């Protein structure tokens, strides 16, 4: 069954190649870009959910830091408070992982289809500066682009830029991807760069919408209310007790 899926992707690339022939610009590079865009559109609902969840997790990082510091001597209480924080904002850590797991088989199948693709007209496998997409890029242009786009994509989706492990991955992963793209057929590197560019555009759009929504809430007074609550009680009230700020308010009323 797996081989049939891989062959299906190879046939899809050939079909889009025939489209480029029909429109008068026969090129496998254009066919790969077109198929990558199609796959990205099909995966859009999953990637949108994943990226939106990651963005919410980013916004909650400061409050999570407060929780971790407050309950560092009580891990069970800390987990409980973090769970309540996620629940309050409708965030689930698994909501960012599950869509990615569903995407992986599709991306791996397409990757294998590209790796074993037979170019029916070798002359049409040249793209931009690359003599043949079936061989590694001799000028390392796609490797550099893959490195840069991977870095930007990770930068946009990093949960905590100050976390040592995430900070190291921000630099290690792009270099690893660059090495892969420098050694594998250029068609694979083209796919990776195209997919990254589309993902960057999608993540930037989600981030801008999220920032706009937060600004709108602040403009209507909701943001100020939230900030006020956090000053009185930065995370959640302990054991259902009223925060210091709330007690002061009640004292004034009396």
The DSSP-derived string for 136-194 is --TT-HHHHHHHHHHHHHHHHH-S-TTSHHHHHHHHHHHHHHHHHHHHS-HHHHHHHHH
* Whether the predicted model's global pTM rises above the 0.75 cut: no
Q: What are the CA-CA distances from residue 193 to residues 4, 119, 126, 151 (Å)?
A: 26, 20, 17, 11
Q: Among 100-109, 117-126, 193-202, which stretch is predicted with the lowest mean pLDDT?
A: 100-109
| Helix orientation angle between 44-70 and 186-219, rounded to the nearest 10 degrees | 60
The token duo for 253 is: 């009323």
Backbone angles phi and psi of 34, in degrees to 5: -65, -40
What is the per-residue pLDDT across 205-245, written as a single tens digit (0 to 9) for each?
777 776 665 566 556 554 444 444 444 444 444 444 444 44
Please state, as a whole number, how many other Cβ atoms lie within 10 Å of the Cβ of residue 205: 12
How many angstroms separate the CA atoms of 251 and 64, rounded? Answer: 30
What percentage of the chain reaches a pLDDT higher than 70? 68
The token duo for 143 is: 């490797």
Q: Domain boundaries in the chain?
A: 2-236
Report the pLDDT value the prediction gives residue 30, as an integer from 0 to 100: 94
């Amino acid at each position: 069954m797996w081989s049939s899926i891989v062959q299906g992707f190879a046939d899809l690339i050939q079909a889009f190649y025939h489209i480029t022939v029909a429109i008068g610009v026969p090129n496998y590079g254009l066919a790969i870009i077109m198929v990558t865009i199609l796959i990205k559109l099909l995966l859009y609902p999953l990637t949108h959910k994943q990226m939106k969840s990651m963005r919410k997790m980013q916004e909650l990082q400061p409050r999570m830091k407060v929780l971790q510091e407050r309950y560092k001597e009580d891990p069970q209480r800390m987990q409980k408070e973090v769970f309540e924080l996620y629940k309050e904002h409708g965030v689930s850590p698994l909501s960012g992982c599950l869509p990615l797991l569903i995407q992986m088989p599709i991306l791996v199948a397409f990757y294998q289809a590209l790796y074993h693709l037979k170019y029916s007209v070798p002359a049409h496998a040249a793209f931009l500066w690359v003599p043949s997409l079936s061989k590694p890029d001799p000028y390392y242009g796609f490797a550099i682009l893959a490195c840069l786009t991977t870095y930007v994509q990770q930068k946009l989706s990093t949960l905590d830029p100050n976390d040592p492990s995430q900070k190291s991955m921000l630099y290690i992963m792009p270099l690893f991807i660059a090495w892969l793209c420098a050694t594998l057929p250029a068609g694979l590197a083209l796919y990776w760069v195209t997919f990254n560019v589309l993902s960057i555009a999608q993540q930037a759009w989600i981030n801008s919408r999220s920032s706009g929504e937060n600004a709108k809430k602040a403009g209507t007074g909701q943001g100020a209310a939230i900030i006020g609550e956090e000053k009185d009680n930065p995370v959640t009230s302990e054991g259902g007790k009223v925060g210091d700020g709330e007690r002061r308010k009640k004292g004034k009323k009396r």
